[in-house]
Amino acid sequence: MVILKAFEILKRWVCVVVVGVLALPSNVSADSSNKVRAAYSSISGIFTPVWIATEERLYQKNQLDTDLIFIGGSSAAVSALVAEEIDFLAGGADPIVSGILSGADLAIVGSSRIRRP
């Protein structure tokens, strides 16, 4: 039962990651001169779908040339996102909401929540 719940959470995260990358501006193409730079903000099991999407080449299957980058800490990652050093972030929502409230042009595409029994 626990494994089934974990698998369902994993499926949702993979969908969120793929949809998030596909929601990038239409001028982002898969040619080698214009890579999509995706980042994750911590080494945690919650980001497993990001790594699975990379390992299974889901980005390439959707015609996206994606570089996956580790940026330690959501605040630093959001700063990189605002500075357009990365195109997509899988990280905590709090710094993103703070950035939006401060006037940054950001959007939260998806979220994962684990319910405790």
pLDDT band at 30 (very low <50, low <70, confident <90, very high): very low
Q: What is the mean pLDDT of the chain?
A: 76
Whether residue 116 is contained in a domain is answered as no
DSSP character string of 69-94: EE-SSHHHHHHHHHTTS-SEEES-HH
* Residues 6 or more apart in contact with residue 65 via CB below 8 angstroms: 30, 31, 32, 34, 35, 36, 59
Query: What are the tokens at 90?
Result: 């899988």
Residue-level pLDDT at 16: 55
Per-residue pLDDT, averaged over 97-115, amounts to 82
Q: How far apart are CA 96 and CA 107, in angstroms?
A: 8
Q: Which structural domain range is residue 26 located in?
A: 2-101
pLDDT of 33 over the 80 cut: no
Distance of CA 108 to the CA centre of its chain: 10
Q: How far apart are CA 75 and CA 36, in angstroms?
A: 20
Per-residue pLDDT, averaged over 12-18, amounts to 56
117 vs 84 pLDDT, higher one: 84
Q: How far is CA 56 from CA 76, 78, 109, in A?
A: 27, 26, 22
Is 104 within 8 Å of 82 (Cβ atoms)? yes
Instruction: Give the number of domains in the chain.
Output: 1
**CATH number of the domain within which 44 lies:** 3.40.190
pLDDT of 21 over the 80 cut: no
pTM for the complete prediction?
0.62
Whether residue 16 is contained in a domain is answered as yes
